[in-house]
Structures are given as structure tokens and as C-alpha cells.
Structure 1
């Protein structure tokens, strides 16, 4: 068992922290590194985690990364990181198609893992990864940050309160022009809009309309996509019909920008969530489309701190998953995206 798993009392007594390592040194790794550095200066987290190591395929790049963010050590290969017994938690920050193989390697090296979304490229890969997690008893959780943000609870509480009445429909969109990034347009890396940005509207619906608040399940899917020249999906439209008649429509794209909003419509009014990728505020409207009130969300470092803290606390408590994104939800969302791609007739080269 890993160094600190299930040893909260011992860790507190000895002043030990959860040593976090980052596997990969791309754009999102920099966001995580900045988050970790800021967490060490925040009294809520300073005694919980330590930015410890980074690994990249280039030693100089890893060393520069470590120096910039104050990491203790750096490695020019992933294998060196996995051999370090001081690593407690590995944040996997590589493209989707690599997550399963790298996650399994981490678990077999006695490392807990926080895996950037999409958890894997498909449900089969996720099942394989989770089977190894079950065998090791280590923490394995998906780092889809919207599942951990405080705004999730705020939205759920508003729906439960009945302030907008009975929910009948929802819409959500997330679009960014990102075709300049090689991995985004590469089928071999499971590129495309769905796994990169489309995953957020689908998770928005799942949190607001799915198992969090009712027994509602998806009864039917209507969807279409416009392919990019490389074969990945470039613009997606997805409509989910739930078994109680609620309709949810999502749009995602790697070609254009959008307002990133999410709207939940009820019989007594509706709410608009500003930026479903990291809700900045929520506006409630009545049946006459008059603003009833605005709700701010709590100030945060970057938003990544919530998933890191959840993972670190789960490790100290000896839990194999985080309640914010349990394994069952990760699998269910990947099966949904597999089903959507099946309707499109889109397969990745490795499938």
C-alpha cells in the first residue's frame, strides 16, 4: 500500500503531506502546477499537499518546469517518476488516448492517480483501468473539475428547492477554437470536440438532471456531428431525452467560440449558469424573464484545488474513489460518449 493511504492520524502526527507529482508538462500541467504552488500558500490546504515532482519526456523541460513552480524534483522520463517511493499522488496530464496505459502503470507502481478528463478514450479502457485500481486498492479518480467545484452543490440545491418549479428542459454549450493544438485534431490521441469540450455539457446535464437529483435516466439520443479534415468530430449537437420527458440539448465545437452558458428551464422560471466549464455566477429568472436574483460562487484559486484536495483527503482516509466523481459515474459518462460516437460512426484508430 502507498505511503499515506489510510494513515491520516499518522500523517498528522508526523506532519506529513500528500506528495503530488505531475505526469506530463503540457498546458494543463502548468495550470495544475500553479494551483499546487498556490495551495501551499493557502491555510486551507498548506498542511495537506506538497508539490513534489514532475516528469516529462525531456529532462531539461522537466527541470525548467520544476524550477518555475517550486517542485522538489524533476524527471526526464515517466519511469523515473514511478520508481520514486516518495510520490503519493500522480496527476496524469497527457492526451486522452494515453491515460489508460499510464494510469495502469502508476497503479502497478503503487501510486494513487488523479486522471485528467477524459478519464480514458472509451469505456473499455476505463474498465481495464478501474479493474487494476480495484486490485491495488489505491485511489483512482477522474479530474473533471466541474464535479468538484462548489457551484455543483449550489445548482443542485436550487433545483431541489423548487424555486424554478419542475424542470422540463436544459441547454448547455462549450466551444473553443482549438484546432491549432496537435492533439485536438489527432484521431490517434482521441482528439475532437466530444472528449475535450463536449464532455462538459454532458456532465452538466448529469449533475443537474441525472442521478444527483432524481432517478431520471436517458431514454433516447439524437445527435449529429461535422467532421474535421483529420476525421475527428469538429462540431457536435447532442439531444438527450430522459425517461420522464425532460429534454437536454448540448453543443460543442473546436472550430468556434460560444457563450459557454448552461440553462435549466422549469415550470416557474429558469436559471442561467455563466460558463459551464467553471460556473462564474448563476442568474435566476421568473416566468416574465425578469431577473429575480444573482448568485455568486465562492472565490477560488484556479478551481483545480477542489479536485486535488478531494483526492488527497481520499488517500489519507484510505478510499479508492472520490465521492464527487465515483467510478460508476465515470463509466456511465464514457459509455454515453461511446454511444454517441457509435451513432456518428466515429472510431479512433486504436479501437
Structure 2
């Protein structure tokens, strides 16, 4: 059984790894978290790069290979910070080594890989959870409370967008790395809608996309039908979007500023008058919630985190597969 503080390691040393490193450094200095988690190690395929990363962000240990990280007996929890196409293989490697695993979204490149990875987690009995931070943030409960209070009436429509120009990142345009907008930014609008619908599966899905010259999706629009509720998700890697999430009801609507990292929730009445506004709590980076949840689950001997159980991860992966199926888009390793 693991004991606190939980030693956290990062597998990968790219952009998202930097964000996690800053988060762990902040948690180590924060009285709310410093007895729970400790930044311990980072691994990269280049030993010098790993050492430089560790020195810059205050990790006492670095490894020049992912295998060495998995063999380190002092590692408790591994954050997988590599491209989507590698998550399944690398997540399984961590689990087989007995390391609890926090896998950056998208959990894997497709549902088949997700099932395989979750099967390894079940067989080994080791904690495995998806690191999609909005699922763990306090804003999720705040939105649910507003809707449950009946302030906006009966929910009938939902809209969510996340769009950033990101084609300058090589992995985003590379089909072999499961590039495209859907798995990187499109997953957030879909999760926003899924959370608003409390995990209810849509009865019908309609979608269209525009391809990037490399063949991956540049931008798309997806409409999901849930009985008398219609939800629309848009995402793009070639435009700047408003990042807004809107839940519309019979008596008003609420607007979430930035579904990727909610800052404020504004509530409007039928006359479009803002009746109240709620600000989310101050945070380190926003990543601390998923790390704390994984650490507590590990201490409790749990196999999954309550904020993002395996069933939710698999449902979103299956939904994204179905959307790509409508488009007729597959990745080279799927053919």
C-alpha cells in the first residue's frame, strides 16, 4: 500500500510535461498538497534532456529512458505526457510495472486501445485514470449545482467550442501521431456536453469536418441528440474560438467562460439580463485537482478516480470513434 507523499513522475518532457512540472512544484509548496504529493522524477528518451528538465523544475531524479522510470522502485504515480498514439503502449508499460498511471487526454487514439489499456489495469489491479483536467475541477460541481437549482429551467440545448491555431505543432498535423483537432481540443467540448448530460449517451450523432492537407481533421462541428436536448460541439486547430460553453434552459441560460479552464460562470434570465456570476476558486494551474484525485485514489487502493471513471473514458473514446466513422477518417495505424 502506498503512503503519502506520493512520488509523482512524468513520462515525457514536452510542452504538456512542463505544465505538469510547474503544477507539481506548486503543490509541493502548497500546504493543501505538500503532504500528499512530491515531484520525484522525469523521463525522456534523451538522458541530457531529462536531466535538464529535472534540474529546471526541481525533480531530484531523471531517467534517460521510459523503461528506467518504470523500473524505479520509488515511483508511485506516472503522468503520461506523450502523443495520443503512444498512450496505450506506454500506459500499459507503466501498469505492468505496478505504477499507478495518470494518462493525459485523449486517453488513447481510439476505443480499441482504450479497452486494451483498461484491461491491463483490471488485470494488474493498478490505478489508471485519464487526465482531462476539467473533469476534476471545482467548476464541474458549480455548474451542476446551478442546473439542479432550476435557475435556468429545463435544459433543452447545449453548445461548446474550443479552437486554437495549433498547426505549428508537428504532432497536431501528423496522422501517424493521431493528429487533428478532435483528440486534442475537440475532446473538451464533447466532455463539457457529456458532463452537462450526466453521462447520458446520445441517441443520434451528426457531424461534418474539414480536412487539413495532411488528412487529419482541421475543424469540425458535431450535433448530439438526447431526446428533447440538442447539443453542438465545435473545434478547430486553424482558428481562434470563443472557448465558451452554454447550457440553455426554458427560463434562462448559463455561460461558462473558457471550457478548457473555466474562470467564471454567468447566469442570464429570459431577457438576457445577467442575474448572477460565480467565479471559480483560485488555483495553482488547474492540473492539481487531477493529481490530488489520483494520489488519494492510490492511497485508498482504488482502481479509478471518481471524477473520471473508466466507463466515462470509454464512452468518450467510443463517441470520438463514431464521429471519425461518420467522417470516414482513420489513422494509418488503424488501417
Matches within 5 A, 1:253-268: 253-268=236-251
* Aligned equivalent of 2:34: 46
Matched, 1:226 2:210: yes
Counterparts of 2:190 and 2:252, CA distance in 1: 22
* Aligned equivalent of 2:315: 332
Matches within 5 A, 1:130-149: 130-149=118-137
Counterparts of 1:149 and 1:72, CA distance in 2: 29
Counterparts of 1:295 and 1:111, CA distance in 2: 38
Counterparts of 1:245 and 1:166, CA distance in 2: 10
Matched, 1:31 2:19: yes
SS at match of 1:350: helix
Q: Give the ranges of 4+ consecutive aligned residues of structure 1 lying more than 6 Å apart after TM superposition.
A: none
TM-score where L is the length of structure 1 = 0.94
Matches within 5 A, 1:164-243: 164-211=152-199, 216-242=200-226
**What is the deviation of 1:151?**
0.1
* Aligned counterpart in structure 1 of residue 44 of structure 2, from 47, 56, 59: 56
Counterparts of 1:68 and 1:191, CA distance in 2: 29
Corresponding pairs, count: 334
Matches within 5 A, 1:104-123: 104-123=92-111
Counterparts of 2:254 and 2:8, CA distance in 1: 37
**What is the deviation of 1:210?**
3.2
RMSD (Å), alpha carbons? 0.7
* Aligned equivalent of 1:314: 297
* Aligned counterpart in structure 2 of residue 282 of structure 1, from 265, 286, 301: 265
**What is the deviation of 1:52?**
0.3
Counterparts of 1:162 and 1:327, CA distance in 2: 30
**What is the deviation of 1:245?**
1.7
Counterparts of 1:48 and 1:282, CA distance in 2: 30
The Cα offsets for residues 84-111 of structure 1, whole Å up to 9 and x where unpaired, read as 0100000000000000000111111111
Counterparts of 2:145 and 2:109, CA distance in 1: 32
* Aligned counterpart in structure 2 of residue 251 of structure 1, from 234, 242, 266: 234
Counterparts of 1:320 and 1:136, CA distance in 2: 10
SS at match of 2:285: coil
The Cα offsets for residues 319-342 of structure 1, whole Å up to 9 and x where unpaired, read as 000000000000000000000000
Counterparts of 2:219 and 2:36, CA distance in 1: 41
* Aligned equivalent of 2:70: 82
Check the 8 A contact 1:210/1:217 in 2, yes or no.
Answer: no
**What is the deviation of 1:17?**
1.2
Counterparts of 1:17 and 1:106, CA distance in 2: 19
Matched, 1:73 2:57: no
Query: Which 5+ residue runs of structure 2 have no aligned equivalent?
Result: none
TM-score where L is the length of structure 2 = 0.99
* Aligned equivalent of 2:141: 153
Matched, 1:341 2:324: yes
